[in-house]
Amino acid sequence: MAAMNAPEPPIQVQAAARALLAFWRAAGVDMDEAEAVYAATARPAPARRPAAPAATPIAPRPAPKVRAKASSAVDNAGLLAKAAQSVAGLRAAVEGFDGCALKATARNTVFSDGVDDAPVLIIGEAPGKDEDEQGRPFVGRSGQLLDRMLATIGLSRQSNVLISNTIYWRPPGNRDPTPGEILTCLPFVERLIELKQPKLLILAGKAAANTVLKRDEAVTRLRGRRLSYNREGLAAPINTMVMLHPAYLLRRPQEKRLAWADLLAAESWLDELGVARIAQS
């Protein structure tokens, strides 16, 4: 409960509190407005933040060997991806690619949504039913939560974010993609990162993190760290972080604190990188 005679918090704190409140409500958690004001006030002030830790270099591990048939699809994907010289060209290459069996059962190719030259690139896992129907990533419930989460730190697919996935066609019944399907799409994913060379790459959830970083680790070991992703073909290492997947938050709203911490970590990194964000009202 708010104290009756408590002084009115400053305007910026009230705006941050409203954003935080909206985010927690979206995550399915009811919260007293005064608590949100408290939580927003409790954000570390920029001047008092400890010196940011250096980003940890994280080189992807070598890809595992794949069977011959899959390997020719992977090679073909690699050639097409390499030939693409822009995000639009890469989108066309993915749309014309027939080497992933998932395409046969999907309604649409789901490549990306947002601003092609945005400073922030977010990569999720695979399209679901809504995404398959609309041909755009993250448009279902988890996508709507993602949009609300991003809005709390001044990011949106209308202005400064490009969103994509590690798989471009819906796996039937939303099953997990197979290792072969993942490897077949990977050259396009890697080329997207290379073409965009984003200021910040955000990997949403365990599957995206392990696919891009070629690891097999719990998301809890990867999130909360500043990573520096590097591999051959990149002009420079890329600032990278891992966040909890919004679909996971819909299932486990009790993890909202970690999600909020991920957002604040992204916000302060973006500030340091000088990435323009939308002012919050």
Give contact residues for ligand URA (rule: CB under 6 A): 124-128, 131, 137-138, 140, 142-143, 165, 247
Identify whether the C-beta of residue 43 lies closer than 8 Å to the C-beta of residue 16: yes
Which residue, 37 or 100, is less far from ligand URA as judged by CB? 100
| Min separation Cβ 138 and ligand URA, Å | 4
Q: Are strands 56-58 and 227-229 parallel, antiparallel or unpaired?
A: parallel
| Min separation Cβ 163 and ligand URA, Å | 7
Which residue, 134 or 230, is less far from ligand URA as judged by CB? 134
The rounded distance, in Å, linking the Cα atoms of 258 and 279 is 24
Which residue, 93 or 163, is less far from ligand URA as judged by CB? 163
| Min separation Cβ 49 and ligand URA, Å | 31
Which residue, 195 or 203, is less far from ligand URA as judged by CB? 203
CA 174-78-57 angle, 5° bins: 80
The rounded distance, in Å, linking the Cα atoms of 250 and 146 is 10
| Min separation Cβ 159 and ligand URA, Å | 19
| Min separation Cβ 175 and ligand URA, Å | 13
The rounded distance, in Å, linking the Cα atoms of 106 and 116 is 24
H-only helix segments in the chain? 11-26, 33-41, 68-83, 87-96, 102-105, 129-134, 141-151, 179-196, 206-213, 219-222, 246-251, 256-273
> Which residue lies nearest ligand URA, judged by its C-beta?
124
Q: Which of 155, 154, 164, 222 is nearest to 193 (CA)?
A: 164
Which residue, 114 or 124, is less far from ligand URA as judged by CB? 124
